[in-house]
Chains A and B, each alone.
Chain A
């Protein structure tokens, strides 16, 4: 009896780990695609923050798959590859994740529009945090119109990512409550 229970918990652990790993792997692709988008002259220095959309969506739909390690590693990858300020994105992502889990994630009855509005706030706060760190480090204000464009385009892109990931979850996950 105990052996079968242990086996079951090990199987559950393996399944959870592989799902988390898959989410992490897909996150890497999203980060690389986000950096790649900058080659499009329209998005020069203002690519939509796809990684934030991705993390937010996963935290809303399946919070158990998005671990702190995944968030930190994705942010670190972006910082190292994109030459971004080290540590800023990690901190901002983590704070955003904590806010989502504590405040927004608890309201399970929220419809899509409220999720979108919440994401807009998170996105604004994310860019504002990075702006504050940048201003305090260099004592200079960068071009704010570019930042506004980046926030706007990210908010516009969010529904695409949200719907895509929701569809993928509904395809690949078996229904949890089966009627006998």
Chain B
């Protein structure tokens, strides 16, 4: 009996560190989920320290990709040439259309008195780290607080919205892609102007939530940012409606997220009064306080909504 007890005690002793480490792991999961500020700072610190070394390591990967692309290009050179000829012809037609529309647009602006928004700064940044796993869709770009890039700044390319900045160090920033499960982008349907929320699903498509029941999105309809909340500028293309069922409306992002090399980060020149300074406050995403009487996006203020 004594030897049996000893064996049991030995087993218990050897299992304790394992259980302890696994418990620590689960504790970290909870801390990470709670989005503790200290963890964010730690992440920022590690990124600042390791990112320069990482930049060096991307060189061989880029070379490998270029090599493979080169081999593919040579193989399909003739088909490519024909395709390019056709595309060139099509683009010339589009150029003529675009020039005509540009003139028309300018004339309409003068008629309507619309002003091109001047309050946004644009910084072009190189993408360093892109998501390697399907559980988190975020990336790291060059430039941080030193270039006045703040948390919440919109990230775009020439095609449309990529995501927004979730943390910004001195020289590097982390961007949450719009395909991430945590991304919520206020949008409107471009044809009918019904508002909705584009929600990431950690996949190739986004889901359009909170659409009013009477809205009828059509296939291939473009959705653009609504500007609601004041964080993102209005009118940036987000995606196209690709699937409409009773349960859900799916949207494919306009930007090809797999091929991002450079992005443009838009940040406000002046932070409006209703939007707290992101770096100074952690209450960026909290509801507006009642005593502030600024107008909200639908022309109502909080007091009117509550009434």
- The judgment on whether A and B are partners is yes
A interface residues, Cβ below 8 angstroms from B: 29, 32-41, 43-47, 68, 72, 77, 79-88, 90-91, 94-95, 98, 130-131, 133-134, 137-138, 140, 142-143, 146-147, 150
Q: In the complex the two chains form, what is the Cα distance from A147 to B157 in whole Å?
A: 28
Do B42 and A80 have beta carbons less than 8 Å apart? yes
Known pairs A36-B57, A47-B132. 10 more at Cβ < 8 A? A68-B21, A80-B42, A80-B43, A81-B46, A83-B174, A84-B136, A85-B29, A134-B135, A140-B202, A143-B204
Tell me if B133 is interfacial: C-beta within 8 Å of chain A.
Answer: yes
Do B136 and A87 have beta carbons less than 8 Å apart? no
Tell me if B6 is interfacial: C-beta within 8 Å of chain A.
Answer: no
CB-based nearest B residue for A86: B32
Do B25 and A35 have beta carbons less than 8 Å apart? no
Tell me if B201 is interfacial: C-beta within 8 Å of chain A.
Answer: yes
Residues of A within 8 A of B42 (CB): 80
Do B18 and A47 have beta carbons less than 8 Å apart? no
The contact size tier of chain B is: 35 or more
Do A146 and B28 have beta carbons less than 8 Å apart? no
Interface residues of chain B: helix, strand, loop or mixed (majority): helix
Do B27 and A87 have beta carbons less than 8 Å apart? yes
Instruction: Give, as a whole number of angstroms, the nearest-CB distance from A136 to chain B.
Output: 10
Closest 8 CB pairs of A and B: A86-B32, A87-B28, A91-B25, A143-B203, A38-B132, A142-B202, A87-B29, A47-B132
Q: In the complex the two chains form, what is the Cα distance from A131 to B181 in whole Å?
A: 13
CB-based nearest A residue for B35: A86
Do A91 and B26 have beta carbons less than 8 Å apart? yes
Do A41 and B258 have beta carbons less than 8 Å apart? yes
Do B259 and A41 have beta carbons less than 8 Å apart? yes
Q: In the complex the two chains form, what is the Cα distance from A142 to B47 in whole Å?
A: 26
Q: In the complex the two chains form, what is the Cα distance from A86 to B25 in whole Å?
A: 8
